Structure 1
Amino acid sequence: MSGSDRDEYGYTEWICTNCGRSAPKNNPPCDRCGNMQFEQVEVRASDFDDEVTAASTADILRENAGVAVAAAAVLSVVVVAMLASAGVFVVSDPFGLGIRFGAVEAVSPNDDGTLTAAELHGRVAAEYGGSSMRWYGRGLELSYRSDATTTGTLAEEVSTVAVWYAQYVGDGGDADSLELTVRTGDGRARVTIDRADAAAFAAGDITESEYRSRIFQSG
Protein backbone atom coordinates (compact mmCIF):
# COMPACT_ATOMS: atom_id res chain seq x y z
CA MET A 1 0.00 0.00 0.00
CA SER A 2 1.47 3.38 -0.96
CA GLY A 3 1.94 6.27 1.47
CA SER A 4 -0.91 8.18 -0.12
CA ASP A 5 -3.19 5.14 0.28
CA ARG A 6 -2.27 4.83 3.97
CA ASP A 7 -2.87 8.55 4.59
CA GLU A 8 -6.24 8.63 2.86
CA TYR A 9 -9.24 8.25 5.14
CA GLY A 10 -11.42 5.20 4.50
CA TYR A 11 -13.48 2.43 6.04
CA THR A 12 -14.77 -1.03 5.19
CA GLU A 13 -18.31 -2.22 4.66
CA TRP A 14 -20.07 -5.32 3.40
CA ILE A 15 -21.98 -5.36 0.11
CA CYS A 16 -24.63 -7.88 -0.92
CA THR A 17 -23.33 -9.67 -4.01
CA ASN A 18 -26.85 -9.87 -5.43
CA CYS A 19 -28.46 -6.44 -5.00
CA GLY A 20 -25.55 -4.25 -3.85
CA ARG A 21 -27.10 -3.18 -0.54
CA SER A 22 -24.45 -2.13 1.99
CA ALA A 23 -24.23 -3.28 5.60
CA PRO A 24 -21.77 -2.46 8.40
CA LYS A 25 -21.23 -6.17 9.23
CA ASN A 26 -21.12 -9.50 7.45
CA ASN A 27 -24.53 -10.47 8.75
CA PRO A 28 -26.54 -12.30 6.07
CA PRO A 29 -29.21 -12.67 4.90
CA CYS A 30 -29.54 -9.37 3.02
CA ASP A 31 -32.38 -7.25 4.38
CA ARG A 32 -33.40 -6.32 0.86
CA CYS A 33 -33.19 -9.51 -1.22
CA GLY A 34 -32.42 -12.33 1.24
CA ASN A 35 -29.09 -13.23 -0.42
CA MET A 36 -26.62 -15.04 1.84
CA GLN A 37 -23.40 -13.83 0.19
CA PHE A 38 -21.71 -10.56 1.26
CA GLU A 39 -18.46 -9.15 -0.06
CA GLN A 40 -16.15 -6.92 1.96
CA VAL A 41 -15.12 -3.68 0.24
CA GLU A 42 -13.01 -0.70 1.28
CA VAL A 43 -14.49 2.76 0.83
CA ARG A 44 -12.08 5.68 0.47
CA ALA A 45 -12.67 9.43 0.63
CA SER A 46 -11.62 9.76 -3.00
CA ASP A 47 -14.60 7.60 -3.98
CA PHE A 48 -16.85 10.50 -3.01
CA ASP A 49 -14.93 13.35 -4.66
CA ASP A 50 -17.35 13.67 -7.55
CA GLU A 51 -20.38 13.42 -5.28
CA VAL A 52 -19.40 15.99 -2.66
CA THR A 53 -17.95 18.65 -4.94
CA ALA A 54 -20.27 21.65 -4.55
CA ALA A 55 -21.57 23.40 -7.62
CA SER A 56 -20.15 26.86 -8.19
CA THR A 57 -22.33 29.96 -8.08
CA ALA A 58 -21.93 30.30 -11.83
CA ASP A 59 -23.12 26.72 -12.33
CA ILE A 60 -26.16 27.30 -10.12
CA LEU A 61 -27.10 30.50 -11.96
CA ARG A 62 -26.58 28.85 -15.32
CA GLU A 63 -28.80 25.91 -14.41
CA ASN A 64 -31.49 28.20 -12.95
CA ALA A 65 -31.22 31.14 -15.32
CA GLY A 66 -34.97 31.68 -15.59
CA VAL A 67 -35.49 31.79 -11.84
CA ALA A 68 -32.50 34.10 -11.36
CA VAL A 69 -33.74 36.55 -13.99
CA ALA A 70 -37.26 36.58 -12.54
CA ALA A 71 -35.94 37.14 -9.01
CA ALA A 72 -33.72 39.99 -10.19
CA ALA A 73 -36.64 41.60 -12.02
CA VAL A 74 -38.91 41.41 -8.96
CA LEU A 75 -36.19 42.84 -6.73
CA SER A 76 -35.60 45.70 -9.18
CA VAL A 77 -39.31 46.58 -9.25
CA VAL A 78 -39.50 46.56 -5.45
CA VAL A 79 -36.42 48.79 -5.08
CA VAL A 80 -37.65 51.23 -7.73
CA ALA A 81 -41.10 51.44 -6.12
CA MET A 82 -39.57 52.08 -2.70
CA LEU A 83 -37.29 54.83 -4.00
CA ALA A 84 -40.10 56.44 -5.97
CA SER A 85 -42.46 56.35 -2.99
CA ALA A 86 -39.75 58.03 -0.94
CA GLY A 87 -39.64 60.83 -3.49
CA VAL A 88 -36.21 60.06 -4.94
CA PHE A 89 -37.68 60.12 -8.46
CA VAL A 90 -40.94 59.59 -10.31
CA VAL A 91 -41.87 56.31 -11.96
CA SER A 92 -44.38 57.36 -14.60
CA ASP A 93 -46.84 54.66 -15.67
CA PRO A 94 -44.27 51.91 -16.45
CA PHE A 95 -46.92 49.33 -17.42
CA GLY A 96 -49.46 51.55 -19.17
CA LEU A 97 -51.95 51.22 -16.30
CA GLY A 98 -52.00 54.85 -15.20
CA ILE A 99 -49.87 54.02 -12.16
CA ARG A 100 -47.20 56.44 -10.98
CA PHE A 101 -45.06 56.81 -7.89
CA GLY A 102 -42.91 59.69 -6.73
CA ALA A 103 -42.79 63.28 -5.58
CA VAL A 104 -44.46 66.15 -7.43
CA GLU A 105 -42.54 69.39 -7.21
CA ALA A 106 -44.28 72.71 -6.59
CA VAL A 107 -44.36 74.89 -9.72
CA SER A 108 -45.90 78.34 -10.04
CA PRO A 109 -48.91 78.24 -12.40
CA ASN A 110 -48.36 79.80 -15.82
CA ASP A 111 -50.85 81.41 -18.19
CA ASP A 112 -51.34 78.52 -20.61
CA GLY A 113 -54.84 77.82 -19.27
CA THR A 114 -54.04 74.30 -18.02
CA LEU A 115 -53.44 73.47 -14.37
CA THR A 116 -51.00 70.58 -13.93
CA ALA A 117 -50.37 68.53 -10.80
CA ALA A 118 -47.14 70.45 -10.20
CA GLU A 119 -48.98 73.77 -10.57
CA LEU A 120 -51.71 72.58 -8.20
CA HIS A 121 -48.97 71.85 -5.69
CA GLY A 122 -47.50 75.27 -6.44
CA ARG A 123 -50.77 76.99 -5.52
CA VAL A 124 -50.95 75.13 -2.23
CA ALA A 125 -47.29 75.83 -1.43
CA ALA A 126 -47.82 79.54 -2.08
CA GLU A 127 -50.71 79.69 0.40
CA TYR A 128 -49.71 77.23 3.10
CA GLY A 129 -46.47 76.02 4.68
CA GLY A 130 -44.80 72.63 4.77
CA SER A 131 -46.50 71.25 1.69
CA SER A 132 -45.64 68.00 -0.06
CA MET A 133 -47.27 66.13 -2.92
CA ARG A 134 -46.64 62.76 -4.48
CA TRP A 135 -48.12 60.32 -6.92
CA TYR A 136 -49.17 57.08 -5.29
CA GLY A 137 -50.67 54.63 -7.75
CA ARG A 138 -53.43 56.40 -9.68
CA GLY A 139 -53.98 59.15 -7.14
CA LEU A 140 -52.27 62.19 -5.68
CA GLU A 141 -51.44 62.61 -2.01
CA LEU A 142 -51.13 66.20 -0.79
CA SER A 143 -50.18 67.41 2.67
CA TYR A 144 -49.66 70.86 4.15
CA ARG A 145 -49.46 72.64 7.49
CA SER A 146 -52.34 74.92 8.49
CA ASP A 147 -52.53 77.76 11.00
CA ALA A 148 -56.32 77.44 11.20
CA THR A 149 -57.64 77.63 14.74
CA THR A 150 -61.31 76.92 14.05
CA THR A 151 -63.14 74.15 12.25
CA GLY A 152 -64.79 76.67 9.95
CA THR A 153 -61.48 78.14 8.81
CA LEU A 154 -60.05 74.68 8.22
CA ALA A 155 -63.12 73.69 6.19
CA GLU A 156 -62.69 76.77 4.00
CA GLU A 157 -59.06 75.85 3.33
CA VAL A 158 -59.98 72.29 2.37
CA SER A 159 -62.77 73.56 0.12
CA THR A 160 -60.37 75.94 -1.62
CA VAL A 161 -57.91 73.13 -2.36
CA ALA A 162 -60.80 70.96 -3.56
CA VAL A 163 -61.84 73.67 -6.03
CA TRP A 164 -58.27 73.82 -7.34
CA TYR A 165 -58.27 70.05 -7.74
CA ALA A 166 -61.53 70.32 -9.69
CA GLN A 167 -59.86 72.83 -12.01
CA TYR A 168 -56.95 70.40 -12.46
CA VAL A 169 -59.42 67.62 -13.37
CA GLY A 170 -61.37 69.91 -15.68
CA ASP A 171 -58.13 70.80 -17.47
CA GLY A 172 -57.45 67.13 -18.19
CA GLY A 173 -55.58 66.04 -15.07
CA ASP A 174 -55.77 62.28 -14.74
CA ALA A 175 -55.34 61.63 -11.00
CA ASP A 176 -58.24 59.45 -9.84
CA SER A 177 -58.33 61.11 -6.44
CA LEU A 178 -56.68 63.65 -4.19
CA GLU A 179 -55.99 62.50 -0.65
CA LEU A 180 -55.58 65.69 1.34
CA THR A 181 -53.97 65.73 4.78
CA VAL A 182 -53.95 69.00 6.72
CA ARG A 183 -51.65 69.17 9.73
CA THR A 184 -52.77 71.50 12.50
CA GLY A 185 -51.35 72.40 15.87
CA ASP A 186 -53.38 69.77 17.72
CA GLY A 187 -53.71 67.03 15.13
CA ARG A 188 -54.57 66.49 11.51
CA ALA A 189 -57.56 66.31 9.20
CA ARG A 190 -57.79 64.05 6.18
CA VAL A 191 -60.27 63.90 3.31
CA THR A 192 -60.25 62.11 -0.03
CA ILE A 193 -61.62 64.02 -3.00
CA ASP A 194 -62.89 61.75 -5.74
CA ARG A 195 -62.19 62.56 -9.37
CA ALA A 196 -65.83 61.95 -10.36
CA ASP A 197 -67.05 64.57 -7.88
CA ALA A 198 -64.39 67.05 -8.98
CA ALA A 199 -65.26 66.48 -12.64
CA ALA A 200 -68.97 66.98 -11.94
CA PHE A 201 -68.26 70.28 -10.21
CA ALA A 202 -65.86 71.43 -12.93
CA ALA A 203 -68.52 70.66 -15.57
CA GLY A 204 -71.21 72.55 -13.65
CA ASP A 205 -73.25 69.41 -12.98
CA ILE A 206 -73.24 69.98 -9.21
CA THR A 207 -73.08 73.13 -7.12
CA GLU A 208 -70.16 74.10 -4.93
CA SER A 209 -72.33 73.40 -1.90
CA GLU A 210 -73.01 69.85 -3.10
CA TYR A 211 -69.32 69.41 -3.95
CA ARG A 212 -68.33 70.44 -0.43
CA SER A 213 -70.91 68.12 1.06
CA ARG A 214 -69.49 65.15 -0.84
CA ILE A 215 -65.93 66.04 0.19
CA PHE A 216 -66.63 66.18 3.90
CA GLN A 217 -68.76 63.06 3.81
CA SER A 218 -65.65 61.20 2.60
CA GLY A 219 -63.48 62.44 5.46
Structure 2
Amino acid sequence: MSEGDSPDGADGASGASGTDTGGSAKWRCAWCDKPHERNDPPCDNCGHHKFEKAVVPVAPEDPDHEREPVWVCPECGRVHQKNSPPCSRCGNAELERTIPDEADYAEELGGTSYLDLLNARYAVGLAFALVAGTVLVLALLGIITLPGMDSVPGSASEYRGVDLGETETAFVAELNDRRAGAGLGEYERNGNVDDAARLYNQGWVSELAGTGSRPSDERFGRALDGTCGEQIGRLTVFDRSFGEDDAALDSPDALAGALADGYAAEAGGFVEPENQLVGVDVHAGPEDAVYTTVVVC
Protein backbone atom coordinates (compact mmCIF):
# COMPACT_ATOMS: atom_id res chain seq x y z
CA MET A 1 0.00 0.00 0.00
CA SER A 2 2.82 2.42 0.81
CA GLU A 3 4.28 1.88 -2.68
CA GLY A 4 0.84 2.43 -4.21
CA ASP A 5 0.36 5.62 -2.22
CA SER A 6 3.69 7.07 -3.23
CA PRO A 7 2.71 8.14 -6.77
CA ASP A 8 -0.48 9.74 -5.44
CA GLY A 9 1.51 11.68 -2.91
CA ALA A 10 3.93 12.84 -5.58
CA ASP A 11 1.09 13.95 -7.84
CA GLY A 12 -0.51 15.85 -5.00
CA ALA A 13 2.69 17.72 -4.32
CA SER A 14 3.02 18.61 -7.98
CA GLY A 15 -0.56 19.92 -8.11
CA ALA A 16 -0.02 22.12 -5.08
CA SER A 17 3.11 23.54 -6.63
CA GLY A 18 1.22 24.37 -9.85
CA THR A 19 -1.44 26.23 -7.84
CA ASP A 20 1.15 28.28 -6.00
CA THR A 21 2.69 29.54 -9.25
CA GLY A 22 -0.63 31.01 -10.35
CA GLY A 23 -1.09 28.64 -13.29
CA SER A 24 -4.86 29.26 -13.34
CA ALA A 25 -4.52 33.03 -13.50
CA LYS A 26 -5.83 34.95 -16.53
CA TRP A 27 -3.34 36.64 -18.87
CA ARG A 28 -3.67 39.61 -21.21
CA CYS A 29 -1.73 40.57 -24.33
CA ALA A 30 0.56 43.48 -23.46
CA TRP A 31 -0.28 45.18 -26.78
CA CYS A 32 -4.00 44.73 -27.46
CA ASP A 33 -5.20 43.53 -23.99
CA LYS A 34 -6.90 40.38 -25.28
CA PRO A 35 -7.38 37.90 -22.38
CA HIS A 36 -5.79 34.42 -22.58
CA GLU A 37 -6.08 31.40 -20.33
CA ARG A 38 -2.33 30.71 -20.33
CA ASN A 39 0.90 32.65 -20.63
CA ASP A 40 1.53 31.20 -24.07
CA PRO A 41 2.45 33.94 -26.58
CA PRO A 42 2.06 34.98 -29.32
CA CYS A 43 -1.33 36.66 -29.01
CA ASP A 44 -3.87 35.05 -31.33
CA ASN A 45 -5.46 38.47 -31.94
CA CYS A 46 -2.50 40.73 -32.85
CA GLY A 47 0.52 38.39 -32.75
CA HIS A 48 2.36 40.25 -29.94
CA HIS A 49 4.90 38.13 -28.06
CA LYS A 50 4.42 39.33 -24.49
CA PHE A 51 1.60 38.67 -22.02
CA GLU A 52 0.82 40.27 -18.66
CA LYS A 53 -1.24 39.01 -15.76
CA ALA A 54 -4.77 40.26 -16.12
CA VAL A 55 -5.67 39.81 -12.43
CA VAL A 56 -3.26 40.41 -9.60
CA PRO A 57 -4.03 37.89 -6.81
CA VAL A 58 -4.54 39.35 -3.36
CA ALA A 59 -3.37 37.51 -0.31
CA PRO A 60 -6.37 37.56 2.05
CA GLU A 61 -4.13 37.25 5.08
CA ASP A 62 -2.38 40.54 4.21
CA PRO A 63 -4.78 43.42 5.00
CA ASP A 64 -2.19 45.99 3.89
CA HIS A 65 -1.86 44.60 0.37
CA GLU A 66 -2.64 47.14 -2.35
CA ARG A 67 -3.60 46.14 -5.85
CA GLU A 68 -1.50 47.26 -8.76
CA PRO A 69 -2.90 50.45 -10.36
CA VAL A 70 -4.67 50.39 -13.69
CA TRP A 71 -5.35 53.22 -16.13
CA VAL A 72 -8.93 54.12 -17.03
CA CYS A 73 -10.14 56.15 -19.97
CA PRO A 74 -12.34 58.98 -18.62
CA GLU A 75 -14.31 59.07 -21.89
CA CYS A 76 -15.40 55.45 -22.37
CA GLY A 77 -14.29 53.70 -19.16
CA ARG A 78 -11.90 51.29 -20.90
CA VAL A 79 -9.39 49.83 -18.43
CA HIS A 80 -5.74 49.58 -19.50
CA GLN A 81 -3.00 47.73 -17.67
CA LYS A 82 -0.41 50.39 -18.56
CA ASN A 83 -0.41 54.17 -19.00
CA SER A 84 -0.12 53.92 -22.78
CA PRO A 85 -2.52 56.42 -24.38
CA PRO A 86 -4.41 56.83 -26.60
CA CYS A 87 -7.32 54.68 -25.41
CA SER A 88 -7.47 51.45 -27.39
CA ARG A 89 -11.27 51.67 -27.53
CA CYS A 90 -12.13 55.30 -28.31
CA GLY A 91 -8.74 56.92 -28.98
CA ASN A 92 -8.93 59.44 -26.11
CA ALA A 93 -5.50 60.95 -25.45
CA GLU A 94 -5.58 60.79 -21.62
CA LEU A 95 -5.85 57.93 -19.12
CA GLU A 96 -6.45 58.20 -15.35
CA ARG A 97 -4.63 56.17 -12.70
CA THR A 98 -6.99 54.06 -10.56
CA ILE A 99 -6.58 51.38 -7.88
CA PRO A 100 -9.23 48.78 -8.76
CA ASP A 101 -11.26 46.70 -6.36
CA GLU A 102 -12.76 43.26 -6.97
CA ALA A 103 -15.90 44.66 -8.57
CA ASP A 104 -13.83 46.67 -11.04
CA TYR A 105 -12.00 43.54 -12.19
CA ALA A 106 -15.22 41.56 -12.58
CA GLU A 107 -16.89 44.33 -14.57
CA GLU A 108 -13.89 44.84 -16.87
CA LEU A 109 -13.35 41.16 -17.61
CA GLY A 110 -17.05 40.45 -18.04
CA GLY A 111 -17.68 43.34 -20.42
CA THR A 112 -14.72 42.84 -22.75
CA SER A 113 -15.54 41.82 -26.31
CA TYR A 114 -13.41 41.10 -29.32
CA LEU A 115 -14.63 44.35 -30.88
CA ASP A 116 -13.27 46.23 -27.87
CA LEU A 117 -9.92 44.50 -28.23
CA LEU A 118 -9.54 45.35 -31.90
CA ASN A 119 -6.98 48.12 -32.06
CA ALA A 120 -8.07 51.10 -34.18
CA ARG A 121 -4.91 50.97 -36.23
CA TYR A 122 -5.59 47.35 -37.19
CA ALA A 123 -9.19 48.21 -38.11
CA VAL A 124 -8.12 51.07 -40.39
CA GLY A 125 -5.42 48.91 -41.99
CA LEU A 126 -7.87 46.08 -42.61
CA ALA A 127 -10.44 48.42 -44.16
CA PHE A 128 -7.78 49.97 -46.41
CA ALA A 129 -6.55 46.53 -47.52
CA LEU A 130 -10.09 45.41 -48.39
CA VAL A 131 -10.80 48.56 -50.42
CA ALA A 132 -7.45 48.38 -52.24
CA GLY A 133 -7.95 44.69 -53.02
CA THR A 134 -11.45 45.31 -54.38
CA VAL A 135 -10.27 48.18 -56.60
CA LEU A 136 -7.39 46.08 -57.93
CA VAL A 137 -9.69 43.18 -58.81
CA LEU A 138 -12.13 45.51 -60.60
CA ALA A 139 -9.23 47.04 -62.54
CA LEU A 140 -7.90 43.62 -63.57
CA LEU A 141 -11.39 42.65 -64.74
CA GLY A 142 -11.55 45.81 -66.83
CA ILE A 143 -14.56 47.21 -64.96
CA ILE A 144 -12.64 50.31 -63.86
CA THR A 145 -9.37 51.90 -64.98
CA LEU A 146 -6.71 52.97 -62.52
CA PRO A 147 -4.39 55.92 -63.17
CA GLY A 148 -1.38 54.65 -65.11
CA MET A 149 -3.17 51.52 -66.35
CA ASP A 150 -3.87 51.36 -70.10
CA SER A 151 -3.14 55.08 -70.46
CA VAL A 152 -4.43 56.39 -73.77
CA PRO A 153 -2.06 58.78 -75.58
CA GLY A 154 -3.36 61.72 -77.53
CA SER A 155 -6.64 63.49 -76.78
CA ALA A 156 -10.27 62.38 -76.55
CA SER A 157 -11.58 65.96 -76.40
CA GLU A 158 -10.11 67.98 -79.28
CA TYR A 159 -8.05 67.83 -82.45
CA ARG A 160 -6.29 71.04 -83.51
CA GLY A 161 -8.91 73.07 -81.67
CA VAL A 162 -11.93 71.15 -83.06
CA ASP A 163 -14.19 69.66 -80.40
CA LEU A 164 -14.33 65.88 -80.88
CA GLY A 165 -17.58 65.41 -78.95
CA GLU A 166 -19.33 67.77 -81.36
CA THR A 167 -17.55 66.03 -84.23
CA GLU A 168 -19.04 62.67 -83.20
CA THR A 169 -22.54 64.16 -83.17
CA ALA A 170 -21.99 65.73 -86.60
CA PHE A 171 -20.53 62.44 -87.88
CA VAL A 172 -23.74 60.50 -87.06
CA ALA A 173 -25.83 63.24 -88.67
CA GLU A 174 -23.66 63.05 -91.80
CA LEU A 175 -24.03 59.26 -91.97
CA ASN A 176 -27.82 59.56 -91.70
CA ASP A 177 -27.90 62.11 -94.50
CA ARG A 178 -25.92 59.76 -96.74
CA ARG A 179 -28.06 56.77 -95.75
CA ALA A 180 -31.23 58.72 -96.55
CA GLY A 181 -29.78 59.49 -99.99
CA ALA A 182 -29.23 55.75 -100.47
CA GLY A 183 -32.81 54.94 -99.44
CA LEU A 184 -31.81 53.47 -96.05
CA GLY A 185 -33.23 54.18 -92.60
CA GLU A 186 -31.53 56.46 -90.09
CA TYR A 187 -29.16 55.32 -87.36
CA GLU A 188 -30.14 55.99 -83.75
CA ARG A 189 -27.18 56.79 -81.50
CA ASN A 190 -27.05 54.62 -78.38
CA GLY A 191 -25.10 55.17 -75.16
CA ASN A 192 -24.04 51.54 -74.65
CA VAL A 193 -22.92 51.23 -78.27
CA ASP A 194 -21.00 54.50 -77.82
CA ASP A 195 -19.28 53.02 -74.76
CA ALA A 196 -18.26 49.93 -76.72
CA ALA A 197 -16.91 52.06 -79.58
CA ARG A 198 -14.92 54.22 -77.14
CA LEU A 199 -13.52 51.15 -75.35
CA TYR A 200 -12.32 49.63 -78.59
CA ASN A 201 -11.02 52.88 -80.11
CA GLN A 202 -8.96 53.82 -77.06
CA GLY A 203 -7.63 50.27 -76.80
CA TRP A 204 -6.61 50.43 -80.47
CA VAL A 205 -4.76 53.75 -80.00
CA SER A 206 -3.08 52.43 -76.83
CA GLU A 207 -2.01 49.25 -78.62
CA LEU A 208 -0.43 51.24 -81.46
CA ALA A 209 1.45 53.35 -78.90
CA GLY A 210 2.54 50.30 -76.88
CA THR A 211 0.75 51.40 -73.68
CA GLY A 212 -2.24 49.03 -73.75
CA SER A 213 -4.27 46.64 -75.86
CA ARG A 214 -7.62 46.28 -77.57
CA PRO A 215 -10.41 44.86 -75.38
CA SER A 216 -11.32 41.20 -75.40
CA ASP A 217 -14.70 40.12 -76.77
CA GLU A 218 -15.87 39.66 -73.17
CA ARG A 219 -15.03 43.26 -72.18
CA PHE A 220 -16.52 44.55 -75.42
CA GLY A 221 -19.72 42.59 -74.75
CA ARG A 222 -19.94 43.96 -71.19
CA ALA A 223 -19.80 47.50 -72.59
CA LEU A 224 -22.68 46.73 -74.97
CA ASP A 225 -24.64 45.24 -72.05
CA GLY A 226 -26.93 43.24 -74.32
CA THR A 227 -27.96 46.23 -76.45
CA CYS A 228 -27.16 44.37 -79.67
CA GLY A 229 -28.71 41.11 -78.49
CA GLU A 230 -26.52 38.06 -78.94
CA GLN A 231 -24.39 39.86 -81.56
CA ILE A 232 -21.60 42.33 -80.84
CA GLY A 233 -22.43 44.52 -83.82
CA ARG A 234 -20.46 45.43 -86.93
CA LEU A 235 -17.15 47.10 -86.12
CA THR A 236 -15.43 49.54 -88.48
CA VAL A 237 -12.13 51.21 -87.52
CA PHE A 238 -10.06 53.64 -89.59
CA ASP A 239 -7.63 56.51 -89.16
CA ARG A 240 -7.18 59.71 -91.18
CA SER A 241 -4.28 62.17 -91.29
CA PHE A 242 -4.69 65.76 -92.43
CA GLY A 243 -2.33 68.43 -93.66
CA GLU A 244 -1.68 71.57 -91.66
CA ASP A 245 -3.89 73.69 -93.94
CA ASP A 246 -6.60 71.11 -94.61
CA ALA A 247 -10.05 72.72 -94.68
CA ALA A 248 -11.51 69.67 -92.91
CA LEU A 249 -10.17 71.09 -89.64
CA ASP A 250 -12.23 74.28 -89.74
CA SER A 251 -15.21 72.95 -87.75
CA PRO A 252 -16.80 69.78 -86.29
CA ASP A 253 -19.07 69.55 -89.36
CA ALA A 254 -16.14 69.76 -91.78
CA LEU A 255 -14.08 67.21 -89.85
CA ALA A 256 -17.14 64.90 -89.58
CA GLY A 257 -17.61 65.05 -93.36
CA ALA A 258 -14.01 63.99 -93.95
CA LEU A 259 -14.38 61.14 -91.45
CA ALA A 260 -17.62 60.03 -93.12
CA ASP A 261 -15.67 59.67 -96.38
CA GLY A 262 -13.17 57.48 -94.56
CA TYR A 263 -15.94 55.38 -93.04
CA ALA A 264 -17.66 54.78 -96.41
CA ALA A 265 -14.36 53.72 -97.96
CA GLU A 266 -13.45 51.39 -95.08
CA ALA A 267 -16.91 49.83 -94.61
CA GLY A 268 -17.39 49.20 -98.34
CA GLY A 269 -20.83 50.80 -98.43
CA PHE A 270 -23.77 50.75 -96.04
CA VAL A 271 -25.27 47.58 -94.55
CA GLU A 272 -28.66 47.79 -92.89
CA PRO A 273 -28.27 46.60 -89.27
CA GLU A 274 -31.01 44.73 -87.44
CA ASN A 275 -31.55 47.32 -84.70
CA GLN A 276 -30.27 50.39 -86.59
CA LEU A 277 -28.23 51.49 -83.57
CA VAL A 278 -24.86 53.22 -83.85
CA GLY A 279 -22.02 54.23 -81.57
CA VAL A 280 -18.96 56.26 -82.52
CA ASP A 281 -15.73 57.40 -80.91
CA VAL A 282 -13.25 59.87 -82.43
CA HIS A 283 -9.78 60.17 -80.83
CA ALA A 284 -6.80 62.37 -81.69
CA GLY A 285 -3.78 60.06 -81.70
CA PRO A 286 -0.17 60.82 -80.79
CA GLU A 287 0.98 60.88 -84.45
CA ASP A 288 -1.35 63.75 -85.40
CA ALA A 289 -3.88 61.34 -86.90
CA VAL A 290 -7.58 60.98 -86.10
CA TYR A 291 -8.67 57.46 -85.09
CA THR A 292 -12.34 56.55 -85.44
CA THR A 293 -14.30 53.46 -84.38
CA VAL A 294 -17.91 52.95 -85.47
CA VAL A 295 -20.14 50.16 -84.12
CA VAL A 296 -23.55 49.44 -85.63
CA CYS A 297 -26.08 46.78 -84.72
Query: Normalising to structure 2: TM-score of the pair?
Result: 0.25
Query: Greater strand percent: which structure?
Result: 1
Larger RCO: 1 or 2 (CA < 8 Å, sep 6+): 2
Q: Calculate the TM-score normalised by the size of structure 1.
A: 0.31
